Structure 1
Amino acid sequence: MSTKIKWFSSLIAILIILSCYFSHITDFSLDDQSHTSQVSFSSGTNKLSGTLIVPKGVTSPPIALIVHGDGPQDRFSNSDYLPFINQLLEAGIGVYSWDKPGIGKSSGHWLSQSMSDRAQEVLAALKKIRSLPNINPQKVGLLGFSQAGWVIPLVADQSKPAFSVIIGGAVNWRHQGAYYTRRRLQQQGLPKATINQRVQQELQADDHIFNNPATANPNQRPDMTPERFYFALKNYHEDASSALKSMKGPLLALWGKADRNVDPIWNANRYRALLANRANTEIKIIPKATHGLLNANLFNYQLPSDWPVYKEGLFIYLGRKSYVPGVWTFISNWIKKATRTSNKQSHAPTSQ
């Protein structure tokens, strides 16, 4: 091997090492600064399997139960959750997350669930984690994405979590579907008049199908699998308004301003109207953020399948830096403040 080739090979090796060193690839693994344990629970006929991760050296940490959005997600969403989970752990916050029904080690089928079914599942998870030794049951709360916007209010209506964090949640299923379609068509560059017509036609067609469950048939929506069709049929009339008004515990609701899946302005305004003057509630739209609070300049896509391969590589390279700067520090600080306040109130003396 010539000296020039050896030099070039050495340079490539150094560049690879430096790239790994300066990247955040370690964000996609759990280090020895946390303790993990496998925790299962039952909901209905399903047995759900998950992982509890607690930061070492932290006495009685808050615990965030992760409530998934749509799709066949395992407990760590194919490792995509790990960068923000590591940030929560570094902030002294534990995490419990489980495989959705029929995914990973959990039984059942997630597409057979209504939002009420999902809420009962989260209630069962809350009960399980609260019952574990060395866990303060008054510091166990919820953190969920997207579809969790219909689930978490139902849970917090029936059981008071220490906190609820809803990211990219929609209030009304039908409205969210129309917005999603509109943004999809906008990306195709269609004229505004055409988009308006297509959105209205789809709404009318879906109303005709899903408002008549006795005659609804998967053949009416050939773009959906039969399982997805019946999932939509079961959930088409979901609206979180009532549960939002009566949910208990501190609430943080966040949307990315560049969200292409859920209308951030419309939904934030609905939250403000429904939760006016409610204590311990914060509602924010995060500038330059996506549906999942990623940096919109780099990662603004509607579906995981929309991501080019090089963007997937960039996400792995950047790790936690893929998110809008400071957003997970803000969420962590809010959770810690909420659980401190909740803990003080639970130990306050009662009046005689």
Structure 2
Amino acid sequence: MRKTIVIRVLCAVVLLLGAAVAVTLAGNDFRMRERRLSVPVAGGRLDAVLTLPPHDPARGLVVMIHGDGPVEATHDGLYRPWFEAAADAGFATLSWSKPGVGGSTGDWLAQSMADRAAEAGAVLDQVRGQPDVPRGPVVLWGASQAGWVLPKIAAERADVTAVVAAGPAINWLRQGRYHLLAELDHDGADAAERERAIAVSDRTRQLLSEHAGYDAYRIGSGDPEPMSAARWGFVSRNYTADATADLRAMAGRRLPVLLLLGRHDRNVDTEETATTYRRILGDRVTVTRVDGMHSLARPVMEDSDAVGLATAVVWPRALLAPEVLGTYRDYLRALR
């Protein structure tokens, strides 16, 4: 009797594992072709990925500009739903690992926003004309920190025909303060905790304005979780970033822009972003607000690490708010 029960339990476990594997395989089976590229740039090479519609030639190219952090070309698979949506619209997508990430040489923390824009232009120049890379419209896609990079590229390159911006900020310092206060509110910080956090932020800003070195920052900021020396250097190079002037330069090109904003964004003041984009770019901007966080993920995905990780492994498309990928796909389809 006991042996029969054990066998039944083992069979049930095997069936459940088999179902889990089947669901995971289906959830990670994307409607596209994918191949790796190695793109030569000044001082080295960048490891890139090019995705394509599954059967027909691509009619246009999306160029991905990452947000902050050491992002790999596929963002560890999280970009694949975006790649698939573009492929459904007939677009190829080009993305590369940041310098110093994966097979890419260099150091992304040594870059300014202008460096990032120049890098994107160099990559685009290198890949245009390669097999499978379409010569049709070029769409820039960028998230978060890319908001200080996209307008620089779009203002200077005649081959860019549209921009998709997901959760971009306008001003580096204002964005940082907004994020700090939003996280304090979310964490239920009391008055003393808020005062301490704001004081650390204020001292750090002062040190940045004084062009302080790393040792002075470590001694003077009082930051309980100090940045690394490399990160301090990156912030020191970029803390004055503001997208306003580059958006004005881009405005003359009359490019269509899709602005994707999460209603629950605690990183970026989306009201400031939407207002600034509309004021400068006018009716060329389509603002779409989704029921998502800064990453445009459903709130539960960021509020629960376990749910987010399980979803990312089993069905990564479900990470994003329901309307995100359809909006993106339809926007690309409508481009001419």
TM-score of the superposed pair, with normalisation by structure 2: 0.88
Whole-Å Cα distance in 1 between the matches of residues 241 and 37 of structure 2? 30
Match of 2:288 among 252, 273, 284: 284
Q: SS in structure 2 opposite 1:164?
A: strand
Question: 1:216 is aligned with what amino acid?
Answer: G
* Residues 1:260 and 2:266 aligned together: yes
Q: SS in structure 2 opposite 1:284?
A: strand
Equivalent position of 1:216 in the other structure: 213
Whole-Å Cα distance in 2 between the matches of residues 171 and 218 of structure 1? 29
1:160-239 matched pairs, under 5 angstroms: 160=158, 161-191=160-190, 193-194=191-192, 197-198=195-196, 200-213=198-211, 215-221=212-218, 223-239=226-242
* Residues 1:18 and 2:24 aligned together: no
Quote how far apart the aligned CAs of 1:204 are: 2.6
Equivalent position of 1:346 in the other structure: none
Quote how far apart the aligned CAs of 1:323 are: 1.4
Q: SS in structure 2 opposite 1:292?
A: coil
Quote how far apart the aligned CAs of 1:254 are: 1.1
Please say if residues 130 and 137 of structure 1, whose CA atoms lie closer than 8 Å, have aligned partners that are also in contact.
Answer: yes
Quote how far apart the aligned CAs of 1:219 are: 4.1
1:1-352 matched pairs, under 5 angstroms: 2-21=3-22, 23-28=23-28, 34-160=32-158, 161-191=160-190, 193-194=191-192, 197-198=195-196, 200-213=198-211, 215-221=212-218, 223-247=226-250, 248=253, 249-277=255-283, 279=284, 281-286=285-290, 288-296=291-299, 298-300=300-302, 308-338=305-335, 340=336
Please say if residues 111 and 228 of structure 1, whose CA atoms lie closer than 8 Å, have aligned partners that are also in contact.
Answer: yes
CA RMSD after TM alignment: 2.3
Whole-Å Cα distance in 1 between the matches of residues 244 and 332 of structure 2? 24
Return structure 1 stretches of 4+ with deviation > 6 angstroms. none
Identity of aligned residues (%): 27
Report how many aligned residue pairs link the two structures. 325
Q: SS in structure 1 opposite 2:235?
A: helix
Q: Which consecutive residues of structure 2, in runs of 5 or more, have no partner in the other structure?
A: none
Q: Which moved more, 1:138-147 or 1:227-236?
A: 138-147
Quote how far apart the aligned CAs of 1:25 are: 4.5
Equivalent position of 1:304 in the other structure: none
Please say if residues 150 and 238 of structure 1, whose CA atoms lie closer than 8 Å, have aligned partners that are also in contact.
Answer: yes
Q: Against the structure 1 CA distance between its residues 232 and 73, is the aligned structure 2 distance closer, same or farther, given a 3 Å change threshold?
A: same
Whole-Å Cα distance in 2 between the matches of residues 37 and 126 of structure 1? 16
Q: SS in structure 1 opposite 2:126?
A: helix
Whole-Å Cα distance in 1 between the matches of residues 136 and 208 of structure 2? 40
Q: Which moved more, 1:8-17 or 1:174-183?
A: 8-17
Please say if residues 62 and 94 of structure 2, whose CA atoms lie closer than 8 Å, have aligned partners that are also in contact.
Answer: yes
Quote how far apart the aligned CAs of 1:270 are: 1.9
Quote how far apart the aligned CAs of 1:318 are: 3.1
Whole-Å Cα distance in 1 between the matches of residues 84 and 24 of structure 2? 11
Question: 1:124 is aligned with what amino acid?
Answer: A
Deviations 1:90-138 (A, max 9, x none): 3432211111001111110000000000000111122223332454333
Whole-Å Cα distance in 1 between the matches of residues 151 and 14 of structure 2? 52
Whole-Å Cα distance in 2 between the matches of residues 100 and 254 of structure 1? 23
TM-score of the superposed pair, with normalisation by structure 1: 0.85
